[in-house]
Amino acid sequence: MAFAFEKLLVYQKAIDFSDRICGLSGTFPRGFYFLTDQINRAALSISTNIAEGNDRFTTPDKRNFFGIARGSVQECVPLLELARRRAFAANDLQLGGSQSHSDCSNATPVNHGESRKPTHS
C-alpha cells in the first residue's frame, strides 16, 4: 500500500462496495445505462473522495471531501432500491447490507485525531 488512505478501513470497505456494485450493475438489462452509470459513479465516488480528502491539508477541506463521500453512500440507497424494484437485483441482495452502509456512514473520519473540548449543556 503506497498511500496512507489505503490503510483506512472505511476506504477498503468503500472499494469492496464499489467492486460489488460494478459486478451487479453489469447484469442490468440494455436500456438502463442511466442507472448503471449513476450507481457506478456514486459507488466509486465514495472511495475517491475518501482518498482525495485524506490528502488535504486543512481540516475544513478534509471534512468537505469526507462529507461528499458520505453523501455518495446515501446516493447509492435509492439507486439500489430502484434496481430491486425493477428486479435487477434480488430482494435479499447482500452487498454488505445495512451494516456496510452504517460502517461507511459512521466511519467517515472527520475528526482526524483533533482534541476537542467536551461540550457541557
Cα–Cα distance between 88 and 82 in angstroms, integer? 8
State if pTM tops 0.85: no
Architecture of the domain defined by 9-106: Up-down Bundle (1.20)
DSSP annotation of 87 reads: T
Which tens digits make up the pLDDT trace of 58-114?
A: 999 999 999 999 999 999 999 999 999 999 988 766 655 455 444 444 433 333 333
Q: Which cell numbers in the block locate residue 42?
A: 456514486
Cα–Cα distance between 101 and 83 in angstroms, integer? 17
Which tens digits make up the pLDDT trace of 18-38?
A: 999 999 999 999 999 999 999
Residue 31: per-residue pLDDT: 94
- How many residues are listed for the chain in this entry? 121
Residue 39 in contact with residue 27, Cβ under 8 Å? no
The residue ranges of every structural domain in the chain are 9-106
